[in-house]
A = this chain, B = another copy of it.
Amino acid sequence: MDLSPLQKARYAYTPKLPGMLRHGISEICVQEGSATQSVADQAKIKELFPNTYGKNEITFQKGKNTAPAKKQVVGVILSGGQAPGGHNVVCGLYDALKATNSENVLLGFKNGPSGLIEDDYLTFDDAYIDQFRNTGGFDIIGSGRTKLETEEQFAVAAQVCEKHGITAIVIIGGDDSNTNAAVLAEYFAAHNTGVQVIGCPKTIDGDLKNEDIECSFGFDTATKIYSELIGNIERDANSAKKYWHFIKVMGRSASHVALECALETQPNICLISEEVSAKKMSLSTIADYIADSVEKRAAKGLNFGVAIIPEGVVEFVPEFSMLIAEINELLAGSKAIAFNALATWKEKYEFIEKGLSKEAMAVFAILPEGIQQQLFLERDPHGNVQVSLIESEKLFSALVKDKLAQRKKAGTYTGKFNPLHHFFGYEGRCAFPSNFDADYCYSLGYNAFMLIQYGYNGYLSKVSNLSKPAEEWVAEGMPITKMMNIERRHGEDKPVIKKALVELDGKPFQYFAAHRDQWAVETAYTYPGAIQYFGPAEVCDLTTRTLALEKG
């Protein structure tokens, strides 16, 4: 295998643990805190988790280790989309496990939760794990999106655990995976399997956070990569002075990624889905909002700019959601056959015109033809529109172009508008983790093992005080049920971890809102540059602006 110079250099990096975990395994004791309850729907959640609900929060401290001596066989699973630092969670877990007892065993189930069900695994040793220290990716064991949620799956999981003598499972995943971890923990407890389940908070989207979880891992590195690229493009825009760049960034429904990138790079425009939803903004309103910036900058001779578009924004535009729902209905089941039989787009368009309500058609009509066709031609196996495929960066630039043409006629705008489009997502999920994510993830894994060692089940590995240097970080554990509420999913009431959206009265958004009018007109770009691993601490170790504002 050919290794890059950086990869070799990163092998030599020693991740920083919270101060309280730095004195060796024998000097880690536990401090029980108060009993917990779920953030909402307490009675229902308690009923669903009779064995794991209401447990105490705990904190690790320096002190004599009083955990029972017991050989541990731990299985670890990577679940869902990649996030930088996943390898370090596994490394931290492995190091704590081996430091406690060299007879302990760590198994890695391959390609996501399905690896547990299919009993597809590898056994870690030093030589193997050392190849993955401080590297990006989930290729150490692979990841997958199978959900562990049925009783049948749990029964198989229990058998696999029994077969290998597994004492605990660590699930590294997002909100859904940690919800499922809690359900699995309850099953294991209810069936007296003796197997513990510990979760670790992963997702670049940043939507797994709450009063306990300051941030999920991977968010720091991914937003730094996107901000590097956006900053580079801003500098290009300000040098060439002739393009408007529309940049879509990954992040599913929530706009945490877009907002963090905006705080790092100070673009002219950044849409925030949660605001679009709260203000019930139409496509036309959004296009006018962007066009206002284009027009004001053009009046100053600045025919260039940068706009950040969060991946999920169109789903938050009420009229657009309505259109999607009508299209899904229009082509449901056998109705698609008649549509698909039509030979030309013109005939299809007439079919659509007849089928949609007047309101939906009004929205459809203003879309650029490429997007119109995408909505009808690229559908998922259930016949539904694939919202994630919609090139919203092109949608908004086309709508802005129309607005500017109107303004040109009206005489208020005389500039030039040349849009370019970008989408940043996959570039950020498997980068070498920043020092922050390398440290945070290693700590999460190390801490997860301490939770196992002390016998906790249905807990999330929690490391907090993250806006401070690692020495001051706090290693804790929290029952996963504490983060849960009841939500309606697919027509059923389900206990789930509440997804964190951008809070419009939170400090990060408020800071953005206080500055964006200036950024829209002036060229106030900031250029973060590439992630640095070796330089001065203020360049290498700072985490996100979001966290700094939330904690500052």
Given contacts A232-B136, A236-B429, contact A532 B6 (CB under 8 A): yes
Q: Which stretch in A66-74, A206-214, A464-472, A522-530 binds the other chain?
A: A522-530
Does A5 belong to the interface (CB within 8 Å)?
yes
Q: If A142-B239, A428-B232, A432-B529 touch, does A534 touch B524 (CB 8 Å cutoff)?
A: no
A428 proximity list for chain B (CB < 8 A):
232
CA distance A540 to B228 in the complex (A): 18
Question: Shortest distance in angstroms between A426's beta carbon and chain B's nearest beta carbon?
Answer: 5
Contact (Cβ within 8 A) B536 A233: no
A530 contacts B431, CB within 8 Å? yes
Stretch at the interface among A277-285, A288-296, A342-350, A487-495: A342-350
The answer for the CA separation of A70 and B313 in the assembled complex, in Å, is 62
Contact indicator per residue, chain A 204-222, by CB within 8 Å of chain B (1) or not (0)? 0000000000000000000
Residue interface mask A533-545, B partner, CB < 8 A = 1:
1111011101000
Check if A527 sits within 8 Å of B427, measured CB to CB: no
Contact of A427 with B346 at beta-carbon distance under 8 Å, contacts A2-B524, A111-B241 already known? no
Contact B533 A139 (CB under 8 A): no
Q: Is A138 in contact with chain B by the CB < 8 A criterion?
A: yes
Is there an interface contact between A235 and B530, defined as CB atoms closer than 8 Å? no
Q: How far is the CB of A1 from chain B (nearest CB, A)?
A: 7
Q: Report the separation of the CA atoms of residues A6 and B3 in the bound assembly, to the nearest whole angstrom.
A: 26
User: Whole-angstrom distance between the alpha carbons of A48 and B528 in the complex?
Assistant: 48
Contact indicator B238/A137 (Cβ below 8 Å):
yes
User: Which of A10, A225, A431, A524 has most chain B Cβ within 10 Å?
Assistant: A431
- A525 CB, nearest partner CB in chain B, Å: 9
A42 to chain B: closest CB distance in Å?
A: 38
Cβ of B232 and Cβ of A527 under 8 Å apart? no
B138 contacts A239, C-beta separation under 8 Å: yes
Which among B111, B139, B346 is the interface contact of A235 at CB below 8 angstroms?
B139
Contacts A2-B266, A245-B426, A346-B343 hold; do A432 and B238 have CB atoms under 8 A apart?
no
Query: Per-position contact with B for A485-520: 1 when CB-CB < 8 Å, else 0?
Result: 000000000000000000000000000000000000
A422 lies within 8 A of chain B by Cβ? yes
A402 CB to closest chain B CB (Å) equals 17
Residues of B within 8 A of A526 (CB): 2-4, 7
25 contacts between A and B (CB under 8 A): A2-B266, A4-B529, A5-B538, A6-B539, A7-B529, A9-B538, A135-B527, A136-B232, A137-B527, A139-B238, A139-B239, A142-B239, A143-B240, A225-B530, A228-B431, A229-B229, A232-B430, A232-B431, A236-B426, A344-B345, A431-B529, A432-B530, A532-B534, A534-B535, A534-B540
Considering the complex of A and B, which 7 residue pairs feature the smallest CB-CB distances, nearest first? A534-B535, A235-B430, A530-B530, A137-B235, A6-B529, A138-B239, A236-B430
